[in-house]
Amino acid sequence: MRVVLSAWGSRGDIEPLVALAARLRELGAQARVCAPPDEEFAELAARAGVPLVPLGPKVRPVVSGARPPTAQDAFRLAAELVAARFDTLTSVAEGCDALLATGLLPAGARDVAEKLGIPYVFACLQTYGLPSRHFPPGARPGRRSSPEEAGPTDLEVLWEEDARRVNALYREALNSHRAAIGLPPVGSVRDHVFTGRALLAADPVLLPWKDLTELHLVQTGAWILPDERPLPAELEAFLDAGAPPVYVGFGSIASYVPEDIAQVAVAAVRAQGRRVVLARGWAGLAPVDGADDCLAVGEVNQQELFRRVAAVVHHGGAGTTTTAALAGAPQVVVPQIADQPYWAARVAELGIGSAHDGPTPTAGSLSAVLEAALTPETRARARDVAGAIRTDGAEVAAELLLDLAGRGGPPVSA
């Protein structure tokens, strides 16, 4: 059995695919991951013993610039990624039994599967961006409605507009490539990519999806890649030198985080009488001074580290939220973009941490929400919820995928 898994996005998009590929290989299948050619993704795949095929441009230059990507950047990238999927996936998926795609809207993946006559599965790591009668779509590049065209509560109109913006981004390139391989044009790119049935790789405690979207989702639980790496000696020594510190990290959303976030976060943690483990991340966060109460670290085993900290201050990515929840660590979420406000609200709702109001904290505002997260009650609640987080999501998804591939499935999953 041969399966191809594809995504273009940050580590939060790629690591779950590597976890799924590793589980597929344990079950005897051949699994390959098509992902951006960033060095850290290649290292991640190699550590898990999973072959990685480069797809599209590197992600880090796109999200780690001095400014967030512009609309013009988005339109150029959309066409580039469609072309990359037709090129790379056509060769990699030849002779395979199924193709699964996730990450930034994977226009082109279903089309390759259609041409090759193999099942296609769309997977999502959250419900953000999926059509819903309960919440509006997120921001996309393209024309927006005027107030006369869509009021703030007219969700049907807003989601129709979202479909048009997706078409503006992808349809010309997609249909051009489809025509080149003898396939008819697609009307709604968004609906074509999503299909009517998708896998949801998120924990049901953290993301109870019922009624959040009109799609039919099969929720497997998060796809977690076990990490057995020891912590660096310097970090071990820092942890052993005093009371549990507070972890601060903002992952790979470098161009979105406030420029002074390191200074603000360190001041907020110190105001609570705690030491700081500062994750450099793609934003290159660095200590504000030479004091010995702050240690900067690179990419480390978060699964182990989060078990040993007093709290985790982060941006609210799905992966970081799940890792912290599984470790039983209280969280402070400072959401910046996309699905992050949802995770912030969910952390607060579950009582396993606090959500900062808005993406730009001050030392005072961050200290206040951190104080709430550091209470014994929050710590106890975080530990209780940790016991309810599923760890078998990758296994569930692998078995579903192999069952679909073994049955042959429909030529393209509907």
Q: List own/partner pairs for 380-387 with CB under 8 A and 24 or more apart.
A: 381/350, 381/351, 381/352, 382/325, 382/328, 382/329, 382/330, 382/331, 382/352, 382/353, 383/328, 385/205, 385/325, 385/328, 385/350, 385/351, 385/352, 386/325, 386/326, 386/327, 386/328
Per-residue confidence (pLDDT) for residue 50, from 0 to 100 = 96
Count of Cβ atoms closer than 10 Å to residue 287 Cβ: 16
What is the mean pLDDT, run by run of 10 residues, along the chain of 414 residues? Answer: 96 97 97 97 96 96 81 95 98 97 98 97 95 88 49 81 96 98 98 95 95 90 98 98 98 86 97 98 93 97 98 97 98 95 97 97 98 98 98 98 81 44
Alpha-carbon distances, residue 232 vs 77, 151, 250, 267, 305 (angstroms): 37, 53, 20, 25, 10
Instruction: Identify the bridge partners of residue 277 per DSSP, sorted by sequence position.
Output: 247, 295
393-407 vs 11-26: helix axis angle to the nearest 10? 60
Spatial separation of the C-alpha atoms in residues 333 and 353, rounded to whole Å: 8
Please state, as a whole number, how many other Cβ atoms lie within 10 Å of the Cβ of residue 378: 19
CA distances, 107 to each of 61, 172, 189, 345 (Å): 21, 11, 7, 30
Distances in Å between the Cα of 296 and the Cα atoms of 19, 224, 316, 397 are 27, 25, 20, 36
Residue 135, classified by CB atoms within 10 Å of its CB into exposed (0-12), middle (13-18) or buried (19+), is middle
Please report the pLDDT score of residue 153 as a whole number: 61
pLDDT of residue 69: 84
- Domain 233-386: state its class: alpha beta
CA atoms within 13 A on the CB side of 8: 26
The whole-number pLDDT of residue 410 equals 57
In the chain, where are the structural domains located? Answer: 2-224+392-407, 233-386
| Domain 2-224+392-407 superfamily per CATH | Glycogen Phosphorylase B; (3.40.50.2000)
Q: 318-327 and 11-26 helices cross at what angle (nearest 10)? A: 60
Q: Say what the pTM is.
A: 0.94
Q: Give the Cα separation of 214 and 23 in Å (integer).
A: 29
Note the residue count of the chain.
414
